[in-house]
Amino acid sequence: MGAKAILYDYWRSSASYRVRIALNLLGLEYDSVHVDLLKQEHKHLDHLCRNPQGLVPTLAMDGHMMTQSLAIIEYLDEIYPDAGFLPGDPVGRQRVRALSHAIAMEIHPVCNLGVTTHVTQLAGGGEETRAAWMRKFIGEGLSAFEAMLDHPDTGAFCHGEAPGMADFCLVPQVYNARRWGAKIDDLKRINAIVEHCETIDAFAAAHPDRVKPAD
């Protein structure tokens, strides 16, 4: 493989957090470049050249500029055959993708900074409007996810006994749920899996508080 990878990320970005977990589990060393969403750095031309959607994360790796966290995780899974981020069987892969998409394509997009800023402005509200929006969509989305985990293939992790792509989506989403005060205490399967993941160094080292740049 080529030069050291560079992850363009933001400490509190849950999509970036997913990729940090995957890179850490593989033991891949990478440099991190902080793109400050609050300072709108993701809309600057230099970042738009890396990621035309103006989002984080972007991973520069193997001579390519890669966007979309799940596509990045699947790339890593394909080039590191022992990664095990997706199961070996098609039905298992379908399930892990469905779980991952339930977060990354249902909950996450409506809770994105650009979306919530716009909706808060339209509603003429302030931070409490944003927080109420977050609590609603994260709470409803994770309740549905909890029901999806009521399945014989759920184990210590979302799918079986090893961490995979669905766990990389779940842990950051629960971080966000806690941040915004979404009611998730009664989601027993989710809480057990997240507690388990949090004991693993690769997950702990990817936590926003561990990667937050000094002021």
Positions in the binding site for ligand GSH (CB under 6 A): 13-15, 37, 42, 55-57, 68-70, 104, 112-114
**Nearest distance from residue 150's CB to ligand GSH, in Å?**
26
Residue 69 or 154 with smaller CB distance to ligand GSH: 69
**Nearest distance from residue 175's CB to ligand GSH, in Å?**
11
Q: Where are the beta strands (DSSP E) in the chain?
A: 5-9, 30-34, 58-61, 64-67
Residue 40 or 94 with smaller CB distance to ligand GSH: 40
Residue 47 or 154 with smaller CB distance to ligand GSH: 47
Reading the block at residue 20, the tokens are: 């940090």
Residue of 119, 113, 122, 106 whose CA lies nearest to 70: 106
**Nearest distance from residue 58's CB to ligand GSH, in Å?**
8
**Residue 26 CA to chain centroid, in angstroms?**
16
Which residues is 65 bridged to in the sheet?
60
Residue 70 or 194 with smaller CB distance to ligand GSH: 70
**Nearest distance from residue 206's CB to ligand GSH, in Å?**
13
Q: Answer left, alpha or beta for residue 97, where phi above 0 means left and psi between -120 and 50 means alpha.
A: alpha
